[in-house]
Each structure stands twice: as C-alpha cells, then as structure tokens.
Chains A and B, each alone.
Chain A
Amino acid sequence: MSDNHNSAGGVPTTGHVWDDDLADFVNQPPKWWMLGLTASALWVVIYFIMYPAIPLATNGTFFKGIGLPGTGQWTAIKELAEDQKVLDDVRRPFEDKLKTMTPAAILADEELSKYVERSGKVLFSDNCGGCHGQNGVGTEQVGAKFAVREQGLMAPRLNDDDWLYGGKIDDIHATITGGRQGMMTAHKDTLSAQQIDDVSKYVLALSEGRGDSEAAGKKVFMESDCTACHGADAKGIQAMGSANLTDRVWRFDGSIEGIKQTITYGVNSGDANARAAIMPNFTASGKLSAVDMKKLAVYVYKFGGGQKDEAAAPVAAVEAAPAPEAAPAPEAK
C-alpha cells in the first residue's frame, strides 16, 4: 500500500494512483446521503406494491382497508374518468340547457351559441368534415371514378350563403336530422346534343348575369322540363332542393363541360355517369344524438352563411338591447 500519512485530516487513500500523483481519499459519503439512499431503496418496494405493479392489488381486495389514499385502487382508466368528469362538470350546465332548447333559441342565446361554436368543432370534424371539408370549405372529389373536373365538390360548401334547402337555422337542422337526397333526371335521351350545348351556355351565362345573351339556350330552358324544378326565373325551389342557377355558387363543376355533364347524366338519376349527392339521415343512422344535431345546426349556421329568420322573435330581442346586468359567462373552453 501507499503512503497514507498525509496532513489532510489523516484520511487514508485507496492506494490507487494515476498520473503519478492522483489518488482517491477513502471518505464515507455523508450520513444524510446514505440515509436518503436507503430510504429510496425501501420506497421502491412500497411503491411497487402500492402502484400497483403486481396484479394482486388491481382487484382492490388485497389492499383493501389500508386506508392510504389511492392504495391499490388506482388505475389509469379511473384517473381518466376523473379527469373527464372535471370536463363534464364544466359542460353539464350548458349541455342540460341544450337538451330542451330549439336550435333557434340556442342561436339567439349569446352564451350558448358561443359554447356551441367552440364545442361543435370536434363534432363537425368527425361527422361532417369528411364530405363538407374542415370549416365547411367543401372537398374536391378525387378518385378513380371521378376526376376533379367531373364532380366538382363532393358536398356543398357550408360557409357561403347559397343553400339548396334553405339557410335558416331550422332548415339546416332539418337537413341534418332528416338527410337530403336531391334528384335531377338525365337528359341524354330527352335533349339533343345541340340543345344540351345551348342550355349549358345559357345556364353559365345566367350565373354571370347575362342570361338574355343566350337566346337559343333560353328557349330550350323554357320549353323543356327545366322550369318544372328550377322555376321560370331559374332561381330554384328550396322545397325540392333544386339549385338556384342565377347565383355565382356552383354545387357541382361550374365549367361549361361540367354543366354539360350535369345536364346530360343528371344527379342521383340512376345513370352510371350521374353525379352523386346524398346527405345521410343522421337520425336514422343513430350516429348523432339530438343535442349533437342541434349543436351542428348552430355551428354550421355560424360559418357565415346562415340566414336570419325574420319571424323569430328572440333573435331580434337580443340584438335590440344587450342587458347590462347579464351574468358573467363561465369559462367554456
């Protein structure tokens, strides 16, 4: 062994020497540190049992009665349920109100419609966004059968103010609860290629506000069965979901070729090349609860295209005079 006689408090070295003169003192770790180390080792055992790391404890019988908080009873799913309960407790007052209210009343209630605007996002993305696109921007249909130019939008855009079946809150609600399926017959057998060509040009001109410049097409439009559904003014009839042809919004492809295709093969007409446009019935499918559908109606209305129901009194009342002593809105995030 080496020289243990040094003046540094008489602490001996391990006797190992590196680099000529580098040696280790043999010092005990501090007592508090050793106590801590021992305590940690003990704690591992206690924690292992209490966590519970062994299946015995999970059934809650083995450690029943020890009385420590969470002893043997803790599971991840219980913790999740507790966390969700916190969220549910915040939402419950709103959800309870929504149950008995009509969509129009929800819309008229400043606080509730804000709640719906925020909580409806997930519902919409999960159930509607697939066809209507996130935020209702519409989804261009692509795939083996339909090229983009063939179909145009997979489902209508929801943030403009053009509505096939009406844009009032109750109309939107009815569309969601009952589903929609419009129909336009194929005209490949009833109209000649020239007639289809003419009327397509007329329809395109209508949307650009110069319908009278296409006299040949107008003649076809007026004399064949077009007016029966789209009306003599071509503004469509919302009761049957026929499109307004005079506005600037196109349900399907709005190019001249796209219009021709729609007229030739129709919509939901049974023809192999027909355009498909089906809004599912969410009541029948059972995918959404009644409250969910009310929420979605308000959510869609608030995209920016919803149309006011002038007859509905509550809307006007709220807008006329905001109540100064209105209760503070709880944080609904």
Chain B
Amino acid sequence: MSEPVKEVGSVTGIYSEHEEWSVNLGDKTIHAKRMPGRFRTLKYITESFWLIFFFGAYLRWNGKQALLLDVNNRQFHIFNLTILPQDIWMVSLLLLLLAMTLFAVTSVASRVFCGFFCFQTAWVDLFTWIEEKIEGNPNKRHKLDAAPWNADKILRKVSKHLIWLAIAVFTGISFTIWFEDAFVYWHDLMNFKLSMLEMTTLTAFTLGTYFLAGFMREQACLWLCPYARIQAVMADSQTILPAYDVARGEPRGKLRSGGKVVEQQGDCIDCFQCVQVCPTGVDIRDGQQLGCITCGLCLDACDSVMDKIGKPRGLIRYASLDELEGRPVKKLYQHPRTWVYVVIILLSLGGIIYGLTHLGSMKLSVEPERQPLFVRMSDGSIQNKYTFKVLNKTDKDLYVKVSAEGGVKGQLIVDADKTQLVHHGKAAGFTVFVKAPAENVMGEVTKMQFRVENVENPTMAAEYNSVFRGPKR
C-alpha cells in the first residue's frame, strides 16, 4: 500500500462514457408504449404458445394424465409412452435438439426466442398489459409513480399487485401439475394438504414470477439471462435482425414546424417512438446491442411514423449487416454455420425417433456372482450363480421364463421352467443357477447369452450377453 497521493488522476475517466451507455441499469422503470402493428400481433400469437403450459397438464388419456413428468416415480408419461430412467438418453438428445434449434434460428434470424417466445418476455408482456389496463398509458404511469400516495393510487397499485400475484400463483400451480396428477394436486391444494416439497415449489415459482415479471423485467434479460449473452456469438453479418438503416436515416433531424422534412436531412425525424415502445429501453439506432431482444416492436413504431410523414416503410427493418453495409447478400443456403446446426438437429431428431420406436417392452441385465465365481458341486459339475434384473416397461404385470444360448455343452438352467413375476413399470430381481459338466467347461470364461421371454407372448423378450466361469484348465 502506498501513501495517499493528492492527484488521483484518471480514476474517474472511465465514467466519461457513462452518458453514452443507453442501457437502463435498473434505476428507472421502463414504461413502454404499446402500439399496434404486424409484430405486435405476431407477438401476441407466439406468446399464446404458453397457454399449453397453463392448460396442457389437464389433458387426460386413457384415464390418466396425458403428459406427466412423474419424477417421484422416475417415469415420464407422454400419452401411451412411458419413458423410464433407462431411456433418459433420449432426453439428452431432446435437449440437444432444442438447443440446436435455438442456435439455428438465432443464426438465421437472431433472437426470435427472446423476442417472441421467452417466458420472461411473455410474462412481462402480460404483467405490463395489466398495468396499462389499471394505471393507464406510460405517461400516466410515470405520473402515478411520482404522485403522492392517495386513495386512488393505493387502489390502483394494490389491485395491480393482487392480480400480478394471482397470475404468479397460477403460474406456480401450473408448473407443479406437470410433475404430478393435476386434479389430485388441486384437491390437495384446496384442502391444505400439500407436502413440503409441493409448497416450496409453489412458493418459489410464485415469488419468482412475481418479482421477475413484475419488478426485474428487462433487467433479467440484461443481467440474469446467460442465453442473452450467448446470442452475440451466434449472430454474424448474414443474420437478419431488426436494424436501423443508417444510410437512409442519417443525418437525423426534427421536422420543421408544419410537418415538413428538412432538405438534406435523412428520413429519421428523431421522434424517439422506437425508444418509447422498446420493452428493454434501448435505442435501436445505436446498432445491434446487448439489450435488444429483437422483438420487432420498434419496426411497428417506425413504420407507423413513416406512413404519417409519407416516406416508405422500413427505415427500421429486419436486415443483415451485409445488406446495410452494401455488401452482396448471400442466400440462406450459403450460410455454412446454419447447415452445421441443421445436421445436428437431424441427427438428434433421428436418435429420438429411433429411441421412441425401439423403446421395447422389457429390459434384462445379468450380473454374474463375483464371490465365488463358480462352485464345484458334489458330482464334480460346475455351477454359476447369476443375479437377474428384469425391467417391465409395459403397463401390465408379466411372468417371464429364462433360457440361454451358447455357453457350455450340456449346461442346465436350474429350475428352468420356473416363471418369475415382474410388476409393470418395475424391475424384478431374482437368482438363476446354471450347472454344467466339468469336462465340458473348456476355459475360465465361456460366452453365453441369456434371454427372458414373456410366458404368454414369447416374442416379447430381452437378451443379455454374459459368461459362464469355470476353473483354469
């Protein structure tokens, strides 16, 4: 540590850029203006995708919940399909598929997910829509925020927060019912019989929704969301995204009194409508930036202004950097990165389809006894012991029978006729002994294959490769 020095020098210099940093650091609340337009309509349509989240779990199929991620019992039910932990590799392929779809879409058309599908975007949109209905347009909201507390302000604020909380609770409930029977959950909820885990989940999601959509809003996109940061890597000069046509717009300037555009000025009349409507409060005219979730609302705003001043639409439009900077625009199929994503998408999709069509109805695993590896019986024959695990993936209880192929000549499965019960959705464990004449045991290890088959339907079977062990020759 050095002694205090009189002149600190340039320590404050780093703040000289502060004025140009247009991203809201959370010190002001953004009240974005709602304007009708193509992208506004599109956004309503895409956001209604989340209705599935709210109501999908109530769908019934054969008397059971059609879509049930039954984590407690370690099985997923998707209509007729039951996915057990053994098939979990398909879930990793599904995650890969979703991630790659996200990447591919982003590389082609930028943050489509952020702008149109993301739950944060959708819930914030819903919350601010309610806010607008109760507190009025952005101007009124700013005034109300600054106004002293009176009966009207209290009434408006309280009712807004109550509705927000109601939506948040419903969000928490809707999340939880994907993991257990929806109707049983509602019944338990109404009777205050929820378990600690259920209560915790509900509370966490309620508070999470309330704070993230009600208070954090665009701050979540800017500072919390990791995906927002990954995006920057995936957009390149070929990616189309909402962009301000600098060549056409600059130099910007206000309209002359009388509504005429000043000669030698660009088409941008500096009306700030694009900033007013932005849910994250960025100025798109500064170029593509971290805060832009590419929701297209500024396109609607700018187009409506262009219509009013009699200029062509598209001063702000979906355009690639190549197009804006006058470079030749390549076709979509000339975008190699997208192709890589598409190939990975197809591979993982193929894997999932293979998995779903080859789920099988039984699974067998056989573990040979390790201590002792084999036993010499009184007649000199060699006996091996195996622990069988049979998994029944069907929805009925089964009886299975054991048989073997290969192995030692003259080998005998002890009690081969015996059937074993395997409950549906469960794994049954049982012991099987195999005995073989010592003179036929040719080495320490002889390969063999076990097979279990359904007694009533022998085509339903499962195999497992194992070995028969004997003494050294």
User: A-side interface residues toward B, CB under 8 Å?
Assistant: 1-3, 6-8, 13, 15-23, 110, 114, 117, 134-135, 137, 157, 159-162, 244, 247-249, 302, 304-305, 319, 322, 324, 326, 328-329
- Cα–Cα distance between A322 and B428 once the two chains are bound (Å): 15
Structural contact, B379 and A247, CB atoms closer than 8 A? yes
Find B431's partner among A110, A302, A324 (CB 8 Å cutoff).
A302
Instruction: Report which residue of B11, B385, B430 has the largest number of chain A beta carbons within 10 angstroms of its beta carbon.
Output: B11
Residue-wise, chain B 390-422 has the 8 Å CB interface mask toward A (1 for contact) of 000000010100000000000000110011010
Give me 4 other A-B pairs in contact (C-beta within 8 A), A3-B8, A6-B11, A157-B375 excluded: A6-B8, A17-B8, A305-B375, A328-B423
Which residues of B lie under 8 Å from residue A110 when comparing CB positions? 421
User: B-side interface residues toward A, CB under 8 Å?
Assistant: 1-2, 4-12, 15, 369, 371-372, 375-380, 383, 385, 397, 399, 414-415, 418-419, 421, 423, 429-431, 433
Which residues of B lie under 8 Å from residue A326 when comparing CB positions? 421
Find A322's partner among B372, B385, B419 (CB 8 Å cutoff).
B419
Q: A21-B11, A322-B421, A328-B423 are in contact. Are A160 and B6 (CB under 8 A)?
A: no
Structural contact, A161 and B372, CB atoms closer than 8 A? no
Instruction: Report which residue of A19, A21, A137 has the largest number of chain B beta carbons within 10 angstroms of its beta carbon.
Output: A21
Which residues of A lie under 8 Å from residue B9 when comparing CB positions? 20-21
Nearest CB in chain A: distance from B428 CB, A: 8
25 A-B pairs in the complex with CB atoms less than 8 angstroms apart: A2-B5, A3-B8, A7-B15, A8-B12, A16-B4, A17-B8, A18-B1, A20-B5, A21-B9, A21-B11, A114-B430, A117-B431, A160-B383, A161-B377, A161-B378, A161-B383, A247-B378, A247-B379, A247-B380, A248-B376, A248-B378, A249-B377, A304-B375, A304-B431, A322-B419
- Cα–Cα distance between A206 and B369 once the two chains are bound (Å): 31
Structural contact, B378 and A244, CB atoms closer than 8 A? yes
- Cα–Cα distance between A66 and B111 once the two chains are bound (Å): 56
By secondary structure, the B interface counts as: loop
Find B376's partner among A16, A23, A160 (CB 8 Å cutoff).
A160
| Nearest 4 interchain pairs by C-beta | A247-B378, A6-B12, A248-B380, A162-B378
A326, closest chain B residue (CB): B421
A137, closest chain B residue (CB): B372
By secondary structure, the A interface counts as: loop
Structural contact, B419 and A15, CB atoms closer than 8 A? no
Which residues of B lie under 8 Å from residue A247 when comparing CB positions? 378-380
Structural contact, A15 and B421, CB atoms closer than 8 A? no
- Cα–Cα distance between A168 and B371 once the two chains are bound (Å): 23
Nearest CB in chain A: distance from B390 CB, A: 14
- Cα–Cα distance between A256 and B28 once the two chains are bound (Å): 98
Nearest CB in chain A: distance from B121 CB, A: 27
Structural contact, B375 and A159, CB atoms closer than 8 A? yes
- Cα–Cα distance between A160 and B383 once the two chains are bound (Å): 8
Nearest CB in chain A: distance from B111 CB, A: 31
Structural contact, A322 and B11, CB atoms closer than 8 A? no
- Cα–Cα distance between A154 and B378 once the two chains are bound (Å): 18
Nearest CB in chain A: distance from B396 CB, A: 10
Nearest CB in chain B: distance from A158 CB, A: 10
Nearest CB in chain A: distance from B115 CB, A: 32
A19, closest chain B residue (CB): B2
Which residues of A lie under 8 Å from residue B383 when comparing CB positions? 159-161, 304
Structural contact, B2 and A135, CB atoms closer than 8 A? no
Find B11's partner among A23, A302, A304 (CB 8 Å cutoff).
A23
Structural contact, B433 and A160, CB atoms closer than 8 A? no
- Cα–Cα distance between A160 and B377 once the two chains are bound (Å): 5
Q: A21-B11, A135-B372, A304-B383 are in contact. Are A1 and B4 (CB under 8 A)?
A: yes
Q: A16-B1, A322-B421 are in contact. Are A304 and B385 (CB under 8 A)?
A: yes
Which residues of A lie under 8 Å from residue B1 when comparing CB positions? 16, 18
Structural contact, B15 and A249, CB atoms closer than 8 A? no
Structural contact, B15 and A160, CB atoms closer than 8 A? no
Structural contact, A322 and B399, CB atoms closer than 8 A? yes
Which residues of A lie under 8 Å from residue B11 when comparing CB positions? 6, 13, 21-23
Which residues of B lie under 8 Å from residue A7 when comparing CB positions? 12, 15
Which residues of A lie under 8 Å from residue B10 when comparing CB positions? 21
- Cα–Cα distance between A13 and B12 once the two chains are bound (Å): 11
Structural contact, A160 and B378, CB atoms closer than 8 A? yes
Q: A17-B2, A302-B431, A322-B419 are in contact. Are A3 and B7 (CB under 8 A)?
A: yes
